[in-house]
Amino acid sequence: MEAPSINKRNIGINFNGLGLAEILLWAPYANKVSIKLDMKTLSLIKQERGYWTLSTDEVKPGDTYWFDVDGKQLSDPASLFQSEGVHGPSLAFDLNAYKWTDAPWQNPPLEDYIFYELHTGTFTSIGTFKGIEDRLDYLVSLGITAIEIMPVAQFPGERNWGYDGVFPFAVQNSYGGPQSLQHLIDTCHNKGLAVVLDVVYNHIGPEGNYLHEFGPYFTDKYHTPWGSAINFDDAGCDEVRQYFIDNALMWFHDFHVDALRMDAVHAIKDFSPKHILQEISEQVVQLTQTTGRTYYLIAECDLNDTRFINPVNKGGFGLDAQWIDEFHHALRVAAGGERNGYYTDFNGIEDLALAYQNAYVYHGQYSEQRQKTFGTNTAGINGRQFVAFSQNHDQVGNRMLGERSGQLFGFEMQKLMAAAVMISPFLPLLFMGEERSEPNPFLFFVSHTDKRLIEAVRKGRKTEFADFHARGEAPDPQALETFERSKLSWDILEQQPYQTMLHYYKTLIGLRKHQPALKTLNRDNMTVETNAANNTLMIQRWTTDQQLICLLNFSGKDQPVAIPEGINQWQKLFDSAHPKWNGPVSSPEILNTGLIAIPPATILIYTQYHA
């Protein structure tokens, strides 16, 4: 067995430059393995450590095939295309056949990322990669620099959030398959958009999961909320680790993905001397050295532990950034959202100030909900390593009725929440549709075929909402109507107030991209002052060229704020309550020191440019 290559896929069926199919399957339990095509069966050769190989010209791109493992017919665990779904045969796909046109593309610095998270199936009416392509100009005009696509690994049926994927290498057939994804990414790059792909390395979904038939992909040492834990540190783990390393690298070198968003890394259990996340990050660094292209790894993690994003030479895993849910939680409570479930640990404006200052609200304090001291200190970590948002798929879709902010907050408060994200010293993320106050919900949906599993999902959803004291019945996740209701309504773009909100977001994003004090993510060049009684914040940010004050009023009435002294008069840069944004009143264009009354649910931004 040769050592795995860093810049090509090793596992599964891969076609080399001579047109030969190179087959590599890990099946350590097997005594005999063959590949079954329509008209022939070819035997694989057993190698060390449970691998089976074959190099042949009898397998062609487009052939459907099964592996026969000791008489059992199974799909390829590293299949690239399950054209007939999770229970069907695999289809041989040539990753090198696509003719890329993005050679000039350079992945932008992470601090320039403005994320737009979307779900392929509900972003457009047709629910495919082609549908996304047709709307890329809209995203470019909005000011987005990176689209973040929820998981595309093959899942059962045609409707799913994507976190039930069971073929990590296969691109969802109902979305268009692997070549369509390559074309989408190529098109994105030619329009100046980076592409982030959501991947799931903490569990494999239940229906269509046949990995256990091949080898010890799972371990009983640990458990996750979603099923068996992936085996990253038990017997046989070396090959399992290589399987997922191969997967991460494939998205970069074969699909030209720019960054991976790694789902719920806190649920990855690994007590190896080198954590799997560190090993993946080190391999990605090597790939960058080989290709000359830059790639990023972004974690979803609820542990408030900087080890995930600290560099390896400082004892970390070397990931580039992470989502910060606590900014979202504190923001929503400050905006008047309900305090139940996990929101009970947040008090609003004071915790929002902590989130601006520390990224984590809990960075070493006692958490009542967790009943323990929680979090680590973030001093010295640049703002580009944190992703902030007022909505995302989880926070919307895990509500029983999938309500977006447009259904939960008034128009003025929605504008304030959007601006609160954009003025942060972190990377901003939008969830599809929020930029126009999308009225349709984003619900939880599946399309399983196993009736027992369908009932288990329904029951699980009901149990999940107990902590939130939700009343009534959750929409049926299995129903087609639940999925259809979750699609964006593109026909509202010319209607009010949606059109005004869209222009508001465009202006906000433009400020973020072009104002030096907002664009520079130096967390040290920022102060935050809180008035808990008035529910107001004053945030000052600065560079050598510019000073900004951002005045945020989360209360329901006018509130006075004292304006700090400066070397010049303060000039108004942005006013969310201005009538052009359907607001009630315009605040003064020029300020001196003294008091200003901020309208309710409003943000005012004033600036001074240094000579």
Q: Provide the 10 A C-beta neighbour count for residue 17.
A: 6
* Cα–Cα separations (whole angstroms), residue 473 to 161, 241, 476: 20, 41, 8
415 three-class SS: helix
Q: Contact, 278 vs 312, CB < 8 A?
A: yes
Closest by CA position to 251, among listed 295, 193, 191, 187: 295
CA dihedral (488, 492, 493, 494) in degrees, to 10, reads 170
Q: What DSSP letter does each residue of 178-199 carry, written as one string?
A: HHHHHHHHHHHHHTT-EEEEEE
Examine the residue annotation and report whether 435 is marked as an active-site residue of this protein. no
d(CA 38, CA 25): 20
Q: What DSSP letter does each residue of 365-405 carry, written as one string?
A: EEETTTTEEE----TT--GGGEEEES--HHHHHTSTT---H
Q: How far apart are the first and last CA of the chain?
A: 65
| Alpha-carbon radius of gyration of the chain | 25
Examine the residue annotation and report whether 263 is marked as an active-site residue of this protein. yes
Specify the amino acid at residue 136: L
Q: In the chain, how long is the greatest CA-to-CA distance?
A: 85
Active-site entry in 164, 263, 279, 326: 263
CA dihedral (21, 22, 28, 34) in degrees, to 10, reads 30
What is the edge-to-edge ordering of all strands in the sheet holding 45-46? 12-15, 21-26, 51-56, 45-46
d(CA 363, CA 42): 58
Q: Which residue carries 């929101």 as its tokens?
A: 343
> What are the tokens at 101?
């046109």
Active-site entry in 22, 117, 239, 300: 300
Q: Provide the 10 A C-beta neighbour count for residue 43.
A: 12
- Catalytic residue set: 263, 300
